[in-house]
Amino acid sequence: MNVKTWQRQPSALARQALALYTALIVYGSWYPFVGWRSLGIGPFAFLNDPIPQYLTAFDVVTNVLGYMPFGALLVLAVYPRWRGTLAVLFAVVLGGLLSGAMESVQTYLPTRVASNLDLAANTLGALFGAAAMAPATGALLDRGLLRRLRMLWFERDSAALVCLAVLWPFATMFPAPRLFGVGAWPHALWLRFDTTMQDALLAWTPVAWDVESWPDLVSDWLPDDAWEALIATFDLFGAIALASLPIRAQAPRVRLVLAFVVVTLGVKVGATFLQSQSGLAFDWATPGGLIGLVCGTAAGLASLRLSRRWRMTCAAIALILALVSVNLLPVNPYFDVVLADWRQGRYLHFNGLARWLAWMWPYAALILIALTVERAWLKRRRERR
Give the CB-side neighbour count of residue 289, counting CA atoms within 13 A.
17
Task: Write the DSSP symbol of residue 315.
Answer: H
pLDDT (mean) for 147-157: 73
pLDDT at res. 367: 92
| Nearest alpha carbon to residue 12 among 250, 304, 246 | 246
CB atoms within 10 A of CB 354: 21
Instruction: Determine the Cα–Cα distance for residues 124 and 113; give it in Å rounded to an integer.
Output: 19
Instruction: Determine the Cα–Cα distance for residues 274 and 28; give it in Å rounded to an integer.
Output: 18
pLDDT at res. 346: 46
What's the pLDDT tens digit per position in 69-105? 999 999 988 988 888 889 999 999 999 999 999 888 8
180 vs 111: which has the higher pLDDT: 180
Give the CB-side neighbour count of residue 333, counting CA atoms within 13 A.
0
Contact 167, 361 (CB under 8 A): yes
pLDDT at res. 127: 93
SS3 351: helix
Instruction: Determine the Cα–Cα distance for residues 359 and 40; give it in Å rounded to an integer.
Output: 37
pLDDT (mean) for 139-148: 65
215 vs 18: which has the higher pLDDT: 18
pLDDT (mean) for 165-186: 85
184 vs 94: which has the higher pLDDT: 94
| Nearest alpha carbon to residue 313 among 209, 199, 321 | 321
366: left (phi over 0), alpha (psi -120 to 50) or beta: alpha
| pTM flag (> 0.85) | no
Distances (CA, A) of 38 to 43, 87, 108, 109, 334: 9, 37, 5, 8, 42
Give me the phi and psi of 305, to 5 degrees please: -80, -15
What's the pLDDT tens digit per position in 102-127? 888 888 887 777 788 888 889 999 99
Instruction: Determine the Cα–Cα distance for residues 380 and 385; give it in Å rounded to an integer.
Output: 9
Distances (CA, A) of 349 to 71, 103, 325, 346, 355: 21, 14, 28, 9, 10
What's the pLDDT tens digit per position in 291-312? 999 999 999 999 999 988 899 9
Contact 74, 132 (CB under 8 A): no
Average pLDDT of the chain is: 80
H or E stretch covering 101: helix 84-106
